A and B are shown apart, each in its own frame.
Chain A
Amino acid sequence: MKNSADKAIPAARPTPRNKGPIRFEAIVPLAIVIGVLALYFTLFFDAHLRRALEYGATSANRAEVDIGKLDTSLWHASVMIGNIEMTDPAQPGRNRVQIGSIDFRMLWDALLRGKVVINEASINDVQIDTPRKSAGRVLPVKAGGDGSGYGNKILAQMKEEFSGNVLGDLAAIAAGANPREQLASMGDDLKSSAQITALEKSLDEKKQQWQSRIAALPKAGDFTALQRRLSGVKLDNLQDVAQIQSSLQELAAIRTDFDAKSKPVRDATSTLGSDLAAGKESLSGLDKIVSEDVRSLQARMHLPSLDTRTLSRALFGMDVLGKVQQAHGYMEQARSYMPVKGEKKTAAPVRARSSGHDYAFGRTNSYPRFWLRKALISSRLQGGASALSGQILDVSTDQSLVGRPMVATIKGDFPQQGISGVRAELVINHLTSVPIERLSMEVAQYGVAGRSLVSSPSVELGFAQAEGSAKFSAQLRGDNVDVLMANQFSKVAFETKAQSDVVREMMNASLSGLNSVNLDAHVSGTWSNLDWKLSTNIADALERGMRRYLQGKMDEARARIAAMVNGKIAEQRKRMYARQAEIESSLKSALAERQAQVDKLRAELDAARDKLEERKKAFLGAQQDKLKQGSDKLLDNLRKKF
């Protein structure tokens, strides 16, 4: 290790012992480190992994997820997770899903390649909607809505639309809410009033613009001068062609000057016509804004439309939206974790270490980053009979490498929850360039108790008891959405509560004799433009029943709102129309005077030109006759000679 430069340093200091290149004294510390690591993995690793999994799953579920037990074996590369409880964020006292155990074993062959491949996993004792010992923690909803994507924004807008309390508002009207009092405090911020002010301003601006344009036009004196020049042109007592030609030339010069001066007048006249027409059109748009004001006031007064479409949306819109939102969320997750074949990787911002782009050099039959080949789902009754069975096939991060789509099927019953005949199939096909996710689900029977449909201070409506069956299918292909829902509730017992006797009577009368309720929903289109079609016979019944009680009151309220809006803007409107007419007539008359002068001069110029042309023609004709006579005489003389 010494070199020549070292020799330059005096050798008075102590020389260390010459040790070999290998650090043998490090073997003991290294053994201690390995021992500590082994001890950690034996004693603490499972507990720490359990905590980490709980944390990750809680974030994904948006509510507490508890894992009862976790055992790992490094030697067998196996994991056993026991008693998983996923809190339902809507009901923190209950679990959305409870799983008895999940067992799986990873392939060492894949682990050594930095990949996780599970040949077979088993998911046992799956239950839904089970009670929790203590309420689970629910994570607060992040500020900024459910997501940042365009689809999320549209769904958030729909949520706002569906979450209105239409039935409560109708009940309030039935109970006798007085719209006159509400109206008294409204109407100071009408859009139509602001629009009229803006239109008046624009009329004044237009008037000024036109006044300055008219002032810049050639003056009356300019045309009088041209007229003087025209009167100086000799039109009579012309002796020969040369004189006629000279007059014509003079006339052409006057015409050129006239054209140059009259063009701005002509242009202004035609532009004024189109400008005034456009102004009139913008005034006619005022009616549309007045209608908007009326609608806006109706909304502010909670005066909803009494039609089945609105009622269907009010009753079940949020349910359907919830399902569509879930489908959207799962779709985004699936597309993020299972990228579509041929999808271009987006360049990650290259600031943090370990980012950059990952390249896949997979061969056919090689492993993807993660691959769960098969997971068997089972749940058994206490007697040992199978209650639920299903399987999940080919969950992978690279379907093109696996060559198969992910398919999950489940069928069976949840007897403790009174749910039977569950059949579901989920197919996630990202093998093609357009990703396809398809879910079809069917529940033959499930019990409904205490389900609220409407909850407002003035009225509450819900199912006290019912038996339900449901069919749900969703197909997401690229950006296209096609969701179908068909729910049937039989043996329905309604529960209605209302403060007012009239409302109670109205609700009971509307729903009497209705023993079964159906709900059909079809959501189609693209995520940016969804078409929502909802229909339910409960909305039909309510619409029929409520119309009897409410139509008169609502018509009266609407008429009152319209009258109020029109009354508020009537004076302003009248003034604006008068102003518009005044400006129009003043501008037209200012231009008409100039235009009349132009027309008169043009007619005079045309007449003078015609007169001169006629003279020229007559003069030339006379000369031709004279020449002909001379030539005839010459011919006769020649004939006589010969």
Chain B
Amino acid sequence: MTILLKQLFALIKLLNSDTGTNQIAAGFACGLILGFAPLLSLQGLLVLVCIFLFRIQIGAALLSAAFFAVIAWLLDPLSDAVGSAILEADALRPVFTTLYNMPLIPLTRFYNSITMGAGVVSLLLAPLVFWGSKKLILVYRTKVVERFRNSQWWKLWSGTVLFKWYVNYEKLRG
């Protein structure tokens, strides 16, 4: 729980800073894939490993995974239809037969209509979410954060000793 909260605070901090736009956007995109995938699946594990190994904002990924899991649940009938259509396509049958009989690949549960449908939908939506969230973050920083920093209240607060101590602490901490 502490780790989760820490990641969420890190997300808020990064969101309000000037850097890490790509990290946060990648986090949202990965969260989308994670949320659409079954809880225990090979692809879910792979995305998690990517989140941990690459500099992707973990808080953003986990938060969006929880959000997109609800969206995925609502979209299950659509995913089922899309997945069924793909899995029943005659042209793709040889590919699926090969994949089905390969080691490790069946652990993705790609042969399930909802998993396949949700997987395809999430892969199609991931670039859109990445670019979309990037744009939204920039808009947020220019419109909301800047206005907040220019407010009287913030100026008053940033002039206090307590705030200066905090800034020094952050500098030292890196």
Contacts and interface: CB of A to CB of B under 8 A. Distances in A.
A9 B21 CA distance: 13
B114 A354 contact: yes
B83 A361 contact: no
| Chain A interface mostly | loop
A294 to B, nearest CB: 59
B142 to A, nearest CB: 6
A3 B138 CA distance: 10
Interface string A359-381: 11111001000000000000000
B112 A356 contact: yes
A350 to B, nearest CB: 5
Interface in B59-92: 69, 72-73, 76-77, 79-80, 83-84, 87-88
A360 B174 CA distance: 53
A363 B102 CA distance: 12
Nearest to A355: B114
A350 B76 contact: yes
B112 A22 contact: no
A1 B17 contact: no
B152 interface: no
Contact of A16 (B19, B87, B146, B167): B19
A366 B112 CA distance: 18
A363 B17 contact: no
Contact of B76 (A353, A358, A360): A353
A257 interface: no
Contact of A113 (B55, B88, B102): B102
Contacts of A357: 80, 84, 112-113
Interface string A281-297: 00000000000000000
Contacts of A362: 97, 100-101
B111 A1 contact: no
Contacts of A609: none
Given A30-B52, A353-B114, A354-B114, A363 B104 contact: no
B22 interface: yes
Interface in B100-157: 100-107, 109, 111-115, 117, 138, 141-142, 146
A350 B79 CA distance: 10
A9 B19 CA distance: 10
A23 B73 contact: no
A109 to B, nearest CB: 7
A174 to B, nearest CB: 67
A574 interface: no
Interface in A16-32: 16-17, 19-23, 26, 30
A5 B97 contact: no
A109 B83 CA distance: 27
A361 to B, nearest CB: 4
B173 to A, nearest CB: 11
Interface string B43-59: 00000000011110000
B53 A1 contact: no
Interface in A319-361: 350-351, 353-361
B55 A9 contact: no
B19 A360 contact: no
B100 A356 contact: no
Contacts of A622: none
A14 B170 contact: yes
A8 interface: yes
Contacts of B19: 1-2, 6, 15-16
A366 B102 CA distance: 10
Contacts of B72: 353
Contacts of A450: none
Nearest to A33: B52
A304 B77 CA distance: 58
A2 to B, nearest CB: 7
A113 B111 CA distance: 12
Given A2-B19, A3-B21, A361 B53 contact: no
Interface of B: 17-23, 38-39, 52-55, 69, 72-73, 76-77, 79-80, 83-84, 87-88, 93, 96-97, 99-107, 109, 111-115, 117, 138, 141-142, 146, 167, 170-171, 174
The 7 A-B residue pairs whose C-beta atoms are closest, nearest first, are A356-B114, A112-B103, A114-B106, A361-B100, A356-B113, A361-B97, A5-B138
9 contacts: A16-B19, A16-B174, A19-B55, A112-B107, A113-B101, A113-B103, A353-B73, A356-B79, A363-B97
Given A23-B53, A354-B39, 6 more contacts: A14-B171, A17-B174, A114-B109, A354-B114, A361-B111, A366-B101
